[in-house]
Amino acid sequence: MGIGEAAALLGVGMAAGTINVVVGSGTLVTFPTLLAFGYTPVVANVTNTVGLVSGSLSGIHGYRAEIGEFHSAGRSRLRALILSSLLGAITGALLLLVLPAKAFKAIVPALIALALVLIVVQPRLAKRLATRREAGGDGAAGRRGGWGVLAAVFGSGVYGGYFGAAQGVLLMAILGLTYADRLQVLNGVKNILACVVNAVAAVVFIVVGELGIGGEHPSVRWGAALAIAVGALIGGQIGARVGRRLPPKALRGLIIVVGLVAIVSMLV
The overall average pLDDT reported for the chain is 84
pLDDT digits (tens, 9 = 90+) for 165-217: 878 888 888 887 788 788 788 889 999 999 999 999 999 999 887 666 655 66
List of E strands, 86-214: none
pLDDT digits (tens, 9 = 90+) for 213-266: 655 667 899 999 999 999 999 999 888 887 656 666 776 676 677 778 777 767
Residue with the larger pLDDT of the pair 264 and 151: 151
Task: State the greatest distance between any 2 C-alpha atoms of the chain, in Å, as a whole number.
Answer: 56
Percent of the chain residues topping a pLDDT of 90:
41
Q: Lowest-pLDDT range, 2-11, 58-67, 230-239, 248-257?
A: 248-257
Sign (positive or negative) of CA dihedral 153, 162, 250, 231: positive
Contact 30, 48 (CB under 8 A): yes
Check residue 101 and give its pLDDT. Answer: 84
Please return the burial class of 175, using the count of CB atoms within 10 Å of its CB with bins 0-12, 13-18 and 19+. Answer: buried
Taking alpha carbons only, the member of 46, 44, 54 closest to residue 18 is 54
Q: What's the CA gap between 33 and 45, in Å, rounded?
A: 11
Contact 236, 58 (CB under 8 A): yes
Taking alpha carbons only, the member of 184, 190, 122 closest to residue 152 is 190
